[in-house]
Chains A and B, each alone.
Chain A
Amino acid sequence: MGDLAIVIPFLPILSAAVIFIFMHSARKAAARISVIITLLTFILALIELTSYALGGFSRVEIIGTLWGSVWLDPLTLIMWSFVCGISLLVHMYSVRYMVEEANYTRFFALLDLMTATILFMVSAADLITLLVAWFLVGVVLYFLLGHDTNRPAAGRYAFWTQITYRAGDVPLWLAAFVLIRSYHSISLPVIFSRLQMYPHLDAFWGLSIPELVGFLLAFAAFARSAQFLLHGWLPYTMDGPTPVSALMHAGIVNAGGFLFNRFFPVFEHASIVLHFVFIVGLITAVVGSAMMLIQNDVKRSLGYSTMGQMGFMVMECGVGAFALAVFHLIAHGFFKASLFLGAGNIIGEAREHDGVPPDSVYTSIVERRPAKPSRLPWLAAAALTIIVPVVVLSVSHLFVSSRLLHEQGVIILLFFGWVTGAQALFATHKMTHTNPWRLMGGILGSFVLVVIGYTLISHYFGHFLYPHGEGYQLYSAASINSVYFDVLVIILALLFVGAWALTFFADSSGWWDRADQGRWRGVYLALYALLSRELYVNDLYARMTQVLLSGARRLNVLLRWC
């Protein structure tokens, strides 16, 4: 099957070349060829994945003489199928969605080029191929986002994306050269095997080679996956065509999670980097989710939702759950693509039918209207909220593998699952319903199903991706001193339990409203203003750019433009 595999990333290039050169004005035919070839690529990727699952083995296929190779391992094959699947959806959607746009054929050619570039990026078996593909993703994306050249805003935001991506290219280049210098090869499998033999080579500033490289790779991943301070471009990519937004948010932005997985042997020896990655991911998840909540634009809200999800994905890598991050990026990719592709219909529907019917979830959660009194008793609801997720999550993990419950990374993720599940139950408790026990029962049933499904799938998926137990080594690398960890978990758990119990009690008795009397309103407003200005991050960058440009112009005048 080796020859067949090499053909896969070249097929979209062929399609792009044919459309660019021969089909400039044949709109329908160009779209048809593009869709058919993407479908073919998807089918071939699935065949490769299936043949591997049925007893295949990892191998490297060489394309060029000095560089150019693809690594056909589980990560590549999964990513190929995922990328081709998302790309096919976007292609099919674009056939009608973009039909009235200028440069229709160029759009499809660029989509094909982007698909090919990502396929090479995720399968690169040497550092040069990886650098070339990683770099080109930013370039092709620039032209896709700036498809409508009549709109200066499209150009501006495409430029923001391009420069952030370039900022992320820089640490990847440095990481690549540190690896080449240290392990005397450009081949990733060779580098990784030598790294396992000599993992503690010294680099600079007291860091070992894996730690230095790990930090550099993490920065490269942060730029691609819109982590905090490098996130400003992501919500503004909505100014590109909707299919590009879908491709962007469902596929391209996940490159950070892919990079962590591709270089997992580096992170096995870089615990300090994983701790740093966890903190950055956590901050991003919190900031992204907070900003999502205050948006009044559906697409911008989806953009910040992506930022929050990317934060969570990076955080998963930070706790050592690398395989879970891949599973997360695939699940997120599909649901975010469907949300983006459906957003236009929702907006159109809202414009046509102005009278939005009252929605109980919306009124109770978003508008914060006082709910009707038909609720569970607060103590029963609080007990259900706090205890049920702990039991469900723990039992499901215990069922899959008891060893998992000894890993700190799993405990942290369970903790997040517990907080999220409890919050969902808490929101349910606030909803109005004629039969609150039935409502709570329905939500609990769904929760149990989702958790068991997620646990089983992620476990078997992890085993497929890392069949030799590498996942446990990564969990181990991400661990901290067990005493500190236990104390931290207990304090956090007590804080959360106390806060929920208090919230249930205050909400049920109306105690908070009587005690507050509008004194916190100023704080809420200040926080809202800060978040609505996106924490002034983009303003800061804009000011920096102005200062730099002004300096460049003065220098040019001083040197008489020579």
Chain B
Amino acid sequence: MDIILWIVAGSLLPWFPFSWIFNRLLVSAPGAWARALAVIVLPQLGLLLLLKSGAWYVLGQEMPIALRALALFTAILYAYRAAGTRDVQIWARFMATSGLSLTWLLVGLLPQHWDMQLFVLAWSIPAALMLIWAGVLTKQTGASYLGLSGGFARVLPRLSVLISLTALAATATPIFPNFFALLQAMESLPIIWMPLLLLVLLLWGWTVGRLLQDLLFGIYHGEAVHDLSVAGTWLGGLTLGVFALVGIFWGGIWIIN
């Protein structure tokens, strides 16, 4: 029973090697919107499974070091792998996996369910938005790969802005909520373990830099494309704005926990 619980939870709220199943599930979802929905719903289901079964507290007491090592290894592995891709959709999946795996650092802590759900959402929402933008990019250019044409800042300025901001939101940039979620994860660790989590932060900085370099800079060589509509841009911008505002108000709540 325990083993099945571990596998199911690890596939929904990813840790390696079951993070592979999580990514497979996202890839198999039909279309960008379904992927976006999946990246929000699946981790919540995994979290609920852990909380309702009571495993959340038991695991935290029985194997805190193993869980900590597992979570950090998954986060580092997927952050590193994200640097090796130039596809927005794959990048979004890897970053989501890297961020969501940090939830396992908090196993056994924080009695309020809603706080944990917010922590997971902090990583899911930017990933979901990124998967939607990857879908839009695929629709406009035929693929979400940035390595061939590049220089989208001039031909798809609105979409480029949204992708850039979402990428920053996905990599724990202040004042988005996952910056504060990362502070919360830091707070849960003994000092000696903190450098590993900071390695994740460094790798995220590297991956987001590479993504933006591929996305924004250079001369566009592809066919003529249509940018995102003004309404779509406002909607995307508004979502990110609200996300950032939540960050400001929610941020720092770990200080009083």
Contact = CB atoms under 8 A, between A and B. Distances in A.
B191 interface: yes
A150 interface: yes
B210 A67 contact: no
Contacts of A59: none
Nearest to B86: A553
A335 B153 CA distance: 35
A558 B77 CA distance: 13
Given A67-B251, A159-B210, A556-B84, A174 B205 contact: no
Contact of B84 (A136, A177, A549, A562): A549
A149 interface: yes
Given A151-B217, A178-B191, 16 more contacts: A64-B252, A139-B173, A149-B153, A156-B217, A163-B206, A167-B202, A170-B202, A174-B195, A204-B192, A552-B81, A555-B80, A555-B81, A556-B84, A556-B90, A559-B81, A561-B85
A253 interface: no
Chain A interface size, as a band, is: 35 or more
B84 A149 contact: no
B137 interface: no
A555 B77 CA distance: 9
Contacts of A327: none
Contacts of A64: 248, 252
Given A155-B216, A155-B217, A163-B206, A559 B186 contact: no
Contacts of A555: 77, 80-81, 84
A414 interface: no
A181 interface: yes
A155 B27 CA distance: 31
A283 B2 CA distance: 58
Interface of B: 20, 23-24, 27, 77, 80-81, 83-85, 90, 93, 150-151, 153-154, 168, 173-175, 179, 183, 186-187, 191-192, 194-195, 198-199, 201-202, 205-206, 209-210, 212-213, 216-219, 248, 251-253, 255-256
A177 B194 contact: yes
Contacts of B201: 166, 169-170, 173
B176 to A, nearest CB: 11
Contacts of A163: 205-206, 209
A27 B106 CA distance: 49
Contact of A177 (B81, B153, B186, B209): B186
Interface in A142-162: 142, 146, 149-152, 154-156, 158-159, 162
A177 B217 contact: no
Given A139-B173, A163-B209, A149 B255 contact: no
A162 B174 contact: no
Contacts of A167: 202, 205
B67 to A, nearest CB: 20
A150 B219 contact: yes
A66 B175 contact: no
Contact of B80 (A150, A169, A552): A552
**6 A-B pairs with least C-beta separation:** A552-B84, A155-B217, A166-B205, A66-B252, A562-B23, A149-B153
Contacts, number: 126
Contacts of A548: 80, 83
Contacts of A128: 183, 251-252, 255
Contacts of A158: 213
Contact of B24 (A152, A173, A562): A562
Does more than half of chain B's interface fall in helix, strand or loop, or is it mixed?
helix
A173 to B, nearest CB: 6
Contacts of B218: 149-150, 152, 155
A155 B202 contact: no
A132 interface: yes
B216 A166 contact: no
Contacts of A156: 213, 217
Contacts of A180: 187
A215 interface: no
10 contacts: A135-B173, A136-B173, A149-B216, A173-B198, A177-B191, A552-B83, A552-B85, A556-B90, A562-B24, A562-B93
A548 B186 CA distance: 26
Contact of A132 (B23, B80, B175, B253): B175
Contacts of A169: 201, 205
Contacts of B205: 162-163, 166-167, 169
Nearest to A132: B174
Interface in A511-550: 548-549
A177 B251 contact: no
A361 B213 CA distance: 44
A33 B173 CA distance: 28
A553 B84 contact: yes
A131 interface: yes
A556 B9 CA distance: 23
Nearest to B19: A562
Interface in A308-365: none
A186 interface: yes
Contacts of B151: 149-150
Interface centre among B20, B77, B210, B213 (most CB of A within 10 A): B213
Nearest to A150: B219
